[in-house]
Amino acid sequence: MSVEERELKIEVKLPTDISKFGYTQELDRTMNVWQLTAFGLNYMVPIAPAIIFGLLLQTSGGTVALPYLLAGVAMLFTAFSYSVMVRNFPLAGSVYSYVGRGWNPHLGFISGWVLTLDYILIPTVTASSSAYFAQQYFPGIPYWILLAIFSVGTGLLNLFGVELISKLGLGLLILGEFVVWLSIIIWAHAVHGGMGTGTLFSAEPFHFTNFSTLAAGTSLAIFSFLGFDAITTLAEETKRPKRDIPKAIYWCIGIGTITMFACGYFGMLVIPDWKSHMNNETWVNTVLFQVSKMTGGNGFGIFFTAGYLTELAVFNLVATAAGARLLYGMGRDNLLPKNVFAKVNKRWKTPHWSILIIVSIEFILGLSSNMATLSNLVNYGALFGFAALNFSVVWLYYVKKKGESSIKLGSIPNWKPSGISHFRYLVLPIIGFLIILYVWISMDRLAQIIGTSWLVIGIVYLAIKTKGFRKLPPQLEL
């Protein structure tokens, strides 16, 4: 019997029961590891570099491939912590649940509060980007109409349940990967034929201004890796969350890093003269469309745009699903109005009010903010939440001493790490924390100011809600 079969046998004997956390199972468990992987990769969007390619160029000073590679490595350390925490707390709510139960309930709320920036702003950025790309071919249609189609129109499909998304997910993921890798092949062929650098092996895609700009670019690149976090929001809709969610997380980061690195590398080979275009906002927001049109003509430019818009529509679908689950988790604990955010539609088994609120905010923000500010602000919440998550693993296993062992050891409660296991539960989370802290310090100053303001609002709200941090919702009295 293989290790995987033994782990599965153990998990079957230890079914996921959320009643021990004070909750009732209301969401349908339908997701498996491949559906989760497709969900996460669709959230990460195989064609994600097209969203912020120009912004990454500006921020880093010339490289897109390198920030994506460094961001992928940085996310791998945090992924280890996610896999540990989902095994301990297989609940909807992601970082909010993990930090709240693993470290401190008040800090869990704050982490979830700040993380809402991601789950609301990421689909706002992609909907705005979709509207920009669509206007290249439909200049007569007002921006606000295109924004409404890509934000409200796609987001509302979530009302019909996560099973619909899982059925569509794998096929649409294959379509997205096909568009990306076909594009990379065509770009490479054009370069081999003399366009751009004229050679497929060049240091051009790795140029950057200095280490400070590279760190800032890496911070921005993390924007494209948030799909693996979204997977954990479906813990209560997964058949075997303790086994399948960690696997899906690792698959997402591995595939995503390779795809984004290749996209950044070959895209830059086509445009070594990128600095001459940086004053053109439309060019900056649609760099890979320009690259595709240069290498494959108008026909391929249309094909790339069609694939891009399809992928972003799918992304908005899964992003709204993840954000709604985060708000659902916080509403269920009465930290947000319970009769609104924790309300589940009886027919479709979805948190419908959370979905409606998210798509409304997306549309309003998409009309009133620019992509550069939104993209940087997204990462404030992600990095804050990731840092808190890494520290929570250490706190759970070494301070509270209430961590659970791995599945292959029998999911033993109150287990104490020993020997080589210290590397997994102590060393890796600390490294992850330090990496995230460094990247967070290097991020855009305006995003830090706005994000910190949102953080302060959350702290004040929590202080009022808990009577000066003296009171906890009954579900969080651990």
| Structure tokens given for 421 | 């296991």
Domain range holding 29? 15-396+441-476
Beta strands in 93-224 (DSSP E): none
Name the band, by pLDDT with cuts 50, 70 and 90, for residue 3: very low
Name the band, by pLDDT with cuts 50, 70 and 90, for residue 22: low
Domain count, the chain: 1
Query: Is 409 part of any domain?
Result: no
The predicted structure's pLDDT at residue 358: 84
% the chain with pLDDT above 70:
89
The mean pLDDT of 390-402, rounded to a whole number, is: 94
The sign of the torsion formed by the CA atoms of 20, 21, 22, 28 equals negative
List C-alpha distances in Å: 115 to 96, 119, 147, 226, 381: 8, 7, 23, 11, 5
The predicted structure's pLDDT at residue 162: 58
| Structure tokens given for 318 | 């899964």
Query: Is 8 part of any domain?
Result: no
DSSP letter assigned to residue 156: G
The mean pLDDT of 454-462, rounded to a whole number, is: 90
Go through 338-371 and write b for each residue having 16 or more CB atoms within 10 A of its CB, e for each that does not. eeebbbbeeebbbbbbbbbbbbebbbebbeeeeb
The sign of the torsion formed by the CA atoms of 176, 182, 187, 191 equals positive
The predicted structure's pLDDT at residue 166: 59
Using left for φ > 0, alpha for ψ between -120 and 50, and beta otherwise, residue 89 falls in beta
The predicted structure's pLDDT at residue 13: 44
CATH of the domain at 351: 1.20.1740.10
The residues that bridge with 238 in the sheet, in sequence order, are 31
Query: Is 209 part of any domain?
Result: yes
The mean pLDDT of 118-135, rounded to a whole number, is: 80
Residue 121 has pLDDT above 50, yes or no: yes
CA-closest candidate to residue 94, choices 272, 252, 232: 232
Q: What is the CA radius of gyration of the chain?
A: 22
Query: Is 422 part of any domain?
Result: no
Residue 334 has pLDDT above 80, yes or no: no
CA-closest candidate to residue 116, choices 324, 314, 316, 313: 324
The mean pLDDT of 232-240, rounded to a whole number, is: 83
Which residue is it, tokens 């104490």?
Answer: 416
Query: Is 6 part of any domain?
Result: no
Query: Is 350 part of any domain?
Result: yes
Contact 92, 27 (CB under 8 A): yes
Which residue is it, tokens 């296993």?
Answer: 397
The mean pLDDT of 194-203, rounded to a whole number, is: 93
Q: What is the pLDDT of residues 28-80, one digit of tens each?
A: 787 888 888 887 887 777 677 888 899 899 999 999 999 999 999 889 999 99
Query: Is 435 part of any domain?
Result: no
Query: Is 204 part of any domain?
Result: yes
The predicted structure's pLDDT at residue 476: 41
The predicted structure's pLDDT at residue 209: 92
Contacts for 409 with CB less than 8 Å, ≥ 6 apart: 415
Residue 164 has pLDDT above 60, yes or no: no
SS3 210: coil
Which residue is it, tokens 């899906």?
Answer: 248
The predicted structure's pLDDT at residue 165: 59
